[in-house]
Chains A and B, each alone.
Chain A
């Protein structure tokens, strides 16, 4: 029997820093767990506990199984509420008369909830099937009929797989989608500064090569935009455009400061045989599609719902909705102030006509830069590449990889790390979702 330990560390917002430690010991007959992953869980748990001791840590929980997540009451309650909401919405749409705009919003919400409700339904049915199977198993054990037992076990296995798949699906659909995930990116690398020596420049070149290989590995297009080499084979800075499927989704966590520790073999620094530390920064900017649509105010007609008579002081109406007639038509009734509604409607219209205005693009890129490149100080590192100890550690998820040479080839090693990053980001997103739900339920 394999056991694995799962520590749930859960800081409840209403308890002001008080920590709830929830330990579950789970034994599962049909699951194979690698020794390595178990060790990782322990290591993660240690780090998790350490982190939780500092007050400002928001929830972080570690798990290897979405099933563990499912068993968490908060998630179950959240799903229950969503499915209730879905049912009442359905009834409302059928039975209660609503006017057009409300109907549209209700329909939208209904469509949002439909897949979640469907998965929830399936999960409940499958859980029921499991229960039935279990009871049957128990009765079988008494009778000691080998063949039936084996069949039952097989059946149990397939149902288990199915339910795990469902949990994963649910998990995936709950995670809020990021706006730019599907976009292409512009990847920029810049060498950091050290006192003498060119360890940073060498390192920058290696990292840039790593990303180039990674794009090959993922079958993306890598288009060089800028390449500024340094002396002795290093790289000052370079930029490339990477396009393909879900590029931004994978590369977004690569942005930040990467630190290197090594005894340099080549370049200026190799003269002195001691450990050098250097940094380089990576910036990943999403590239939205550029659709150019011109908005001519003369083609617009602004409709407001105001009286047909003298208007002004003669009339007191609360209908302050504004409609801009253009293709597409925009209506706005978000605010009580008519002029505000007009402003909002204009804004919505522009947003619909332009995918990204050029200035907005540039501005966003600028601000993305600010977020990603801090002071380039060593304290902002996201990852450390330690050549002397032959390991790469990512500080955000406390994950370590051996065989740095293989990692720098930009193949499977990097891919695994990125997958782990995405997974932990998803977990945090769901935790945040549940947190908000709990807060609002009060």
Chain B
């Protein structure tokens, strides 16, 4: 392929120009097949950075570092063993790097190229077009954990609240909450009956099936109760969340439901009890901003996970409107939003006193932009 030829040419006639030969690359090696064993990790990173930069790929250096590190079995280039930086790579490794880099040249996001990414220390699978979790959202999870800790401290007993996540995507928020929340064995649950014989499928493709299932029962299990219900309208997201839950051995504590919460029908019967918390990173991009998103986002991520309508508020208002039916009294909603939304949400809530919701707190992200909302239900 042309790219390969170019790479070879660049290697052979590049920085070694000053000397007569690239003697050092060949000295004391045993005779190797011509391409394999030529390049070490550092050279490859340098080479591909140059290639990416020439083609205007953003984050050229970071991308090539992540790709090379991934092929060498590490998560980041910095965490590679120093000895590996200068060791020659095998031809399979070179081939692998070439393939992954060619995808980067198509502007595929690095997370999709590697097929995985980290969130709050968990390693999650990433598959297009399911939305890639952003670093800001890690702070949302931190906030929720703080609130839970504070609340259980006030109540005096370690609590494991019932949490609903709307729009789970890859399952990042739900799974990182579950992995850091204490496990609690529920005694005498008021909203579930016991049935040891019933099987327990973990996710449903259709909300009707879900209702039918619930007519049978969730068996009581020893140890962990599922305390997170994750909901998404895309089947791809549901299966990815399921896969990640299994990878992290959290599949017993999470209910993953294929459900479009914007459709009225889904919420008419509430088979489960009121929630303590609703968490969401809903699509909040203003519709007119969608065109200006980077090609990585526009071409590979699901636009439905990003587009929030004219003012980016569509899904947000939906969630808030459902709160009275879903939330316990003094339950909380935690949202990640656009920096312009805190005001908009505040005024919208004032126009809807029937919801009995108050904007309690706005938190800034690590760039200082107002990013997270805490809304509390208080009333009948």
Contact = CB atoms under 8 A, between A and B. Distances in A.
A319 B289 contact: no
Contacts of B293: 314
A316 B296 CA distance: 8
Given A92-B40, A96-B43, A311-B369, A336 B24 contact: no
B365 A105 contact: no
A277 interface: no
B42 A312 contact: no
Contacts of B301: 316
Interface in A87-119: 87-89, 91-92, 95-99, 101-102, 105-106, 108-109
A338 interface: yes
B24 A91 contact: yes
A282 B134 CA distance: 54
Contact of A335 (B75, B111, B336): B75
Given A92-B43, A313-B283, A315-B294, A333 B24 contact: no
Interface in A320-345: 320, 333-340
**Which of B109, B119, B135, B369 has the most chain A CB atoms inside 10 A of its CB?**
B135
Given A96-B46, A109-B82, A319-B59, A102 B294 contact: no
Given A311-B365, A333-B78, A339-B139, A318 B66 contact: yes
Nearest to A92: B42
Interface residues of B, number: 61
B52 interface: no
Interface in B290-305: 293-294, 296-297, 301, 305
Given A95-B15, A304-B366, A318-B110, A338 B78 contact: no
A95 B16 contact: yes
Contacts of A314: 285, 289, 293, 297
A318 B111 contact: yes
B138 interface: yes
Nearest to B132: A316
B297 A316 contact: yes
A336 B59 contact: no
Contacts of A307: 367
A335 B24 contact: no
Contacts of B43: 92, 96
A88 B284 contact: no
B304 to A, nearest CB: 12
B121 A306 contact: no
Contacts of B136: 311-312
A87 B27 CA distance: 11
A335 B61 contact: no
A97 B77 CA distance: 15
Interface string B41-54: 01100100000000
Contacts of B289: 310, 314
A84 interface: yes
A312 B284 contact: yes
Given A88-B24, A306-B367, A314-B293, A333 B46 contact: no
A21 interface: no
Nearest to A82: B83
B339 interface: yes
B76 A313 contact: no
Contacts of B117: 336
Contacts of A146: none
Contacts of A319: 59, 62
B109 A316 contact: yes
B78 A101 contact: yes
A338 B119 CA distance: 8
A334 B80 CA distance: 9
Contacts of B138: 337-339
Contacts of A333: 76, 78
B358 to A, nearest CB: 24
Interface of B: 15-16, 24, 28, 40, 42-43, 46, 58-59, 61-63, 66, 75-79, 82-83, 85-87, 109-111, 117-122, 131-132, 134-136, 138-139, 142, 281, 283-285, 289, 293-294, 296-297, 301, 305-306, 336, 338-339, 365-367, 369, 371
- Nearest first, the 6 A-B pairs at minimum CB distance are A336-B118, A338-B135, A337-B118, A88-B86, A109-B82, A339-B138
10 contacts: A106-B82, A109-B82, A304-B135, A312-B136, A313-B338, A316-B132, A318-B62, A336-B76, A336-B117, A337-B120
